Amino acid sequence: AQKITQTQPGMFVQEKEAVTLDCTYDTSDQSYGLFWYKQPSSGEMIFLIYQGSYDEQNATEGRYSLNFQKARKSANLVISASQLGDSAMYFCAMKTGGFKTIFGAGTRLFVKA
């Protein structure tokens, strides 16, 4: 069965510090894509970063990077230099050969001033 697991319901980080949000996934497919989305209190899902299963390098997008460890089936999101505006829910998601995208339960990040 395909599954995304986010084990951290909530995380706190000091402003300007880095934080890692954990994500593990389960799939028997060889080809898949992993995504991270941010959902502020307004409710809209905002795409952050993508990693393909065949990508050899970890994806980076500005302050976001994805620590992809294929053998461990983990795809952790690293946010560097946290800002107050980073406070939100963060969802890890996976897409395989079909049409579905599967989301984890999310991690709520609180950035402290």
Partner 1 sequence: GAGVSQSPRYKVAKRGQDVALRCDPISGHVSLFWYQQALGQGPEFLTYFQNEAQLDKSGLPSDRFFAERPEGSVSTLKIQRTQQEDSAVYLCASSLYQREQETQYFGPGTRLLVL
Question: Which stretches of the chain bind partner 1, using CB under 8 A?
Answer: 4, 31-33, 35, 37, 42-47, 50, 52, 91, 93, 95-106
Cα–Cα dist 2/13, whole Å: 30
At its nearest, how many Å lie between partner 1 and the CB of residue 15?
A: 26
Tokens of 77: 């999101």
Residue with tokens 């307004």: 42
Nearer to partner 1, 93 or 111 (CB): 93
Residues in Cβ contact with 64 at an 8 Å cutoff, skipping those fewer than 6 apart: 36, 48, 49, 77, 78, 79, 80
At its nearest, how many Å lie between partner 1 and the CB of residue 37?
A: 8
At its nearest, how many Å lie between partner 1 and the CB of residue 9?
A: 9
